[in-house]
């Protein structure tokens, strides 16, 4: 009985350590990314990609409306807001994008 409780506690610690390591790796890799935003050729417009996981869908609609207003009031900066799924779906997508050197400019 004590052994099973101990192994459960150890499993939890290993999971926490793994999550911490994964988070630290993401932070380190994001620091290696090119810091300049992707821009159109000689257009002077800065294009930013924003990945988010806003739910429920009506909240996404509100966020998209706000993004559209931002794009209209800031003609030199254009933000493309993309929904990338629920929290459990986001991490694999983010890690794949980082490894493929195709990470978004912003995550929320």
Structure letter (DSSP) for residue 74? -
Nearest Cα residue to 107 out of 20, 99, 93: 93
Q: For residue 13, what pLDDT band results from cuts at 50, 70 and 90?
A: confident
d(CA 107, CA 26): 12
Q: For residue 90, what pLDDT band results from cuts at 50, 70 and 90?
A: confident
Nearest Cα residue to 49 out of 6, 98, 106: 106
Per-residue pLDDT tens over the stretch 30-85: 666 555 555 455 568 899 999 998 888 888 899 999 999 999 999 999 999 999 98
């Amino acid at each position: 009985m004590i052994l099973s409780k101990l192994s459960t506690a150890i499993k939890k610690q290993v999971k926490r350590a793994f999550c911490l390591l994964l988070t630290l790796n993401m932070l380190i890799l994001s620091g290696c990314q090119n810091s300049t935003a992707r821009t159109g050729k000689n257009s002077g417009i800065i294009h930013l990609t924003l990945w988010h996981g806003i739910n429920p869908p009506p909240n996404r609609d509100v966020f998209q409306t706000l993004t559209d207003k931002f794009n209209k009031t800031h003609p030199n900066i254009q933000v493309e807001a993309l929904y990338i799924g629920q929290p459990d779906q986001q991490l694999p997508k983010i890690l794949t994008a980082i490894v493929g050197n195709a990470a978004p400019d912003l995550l929320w």
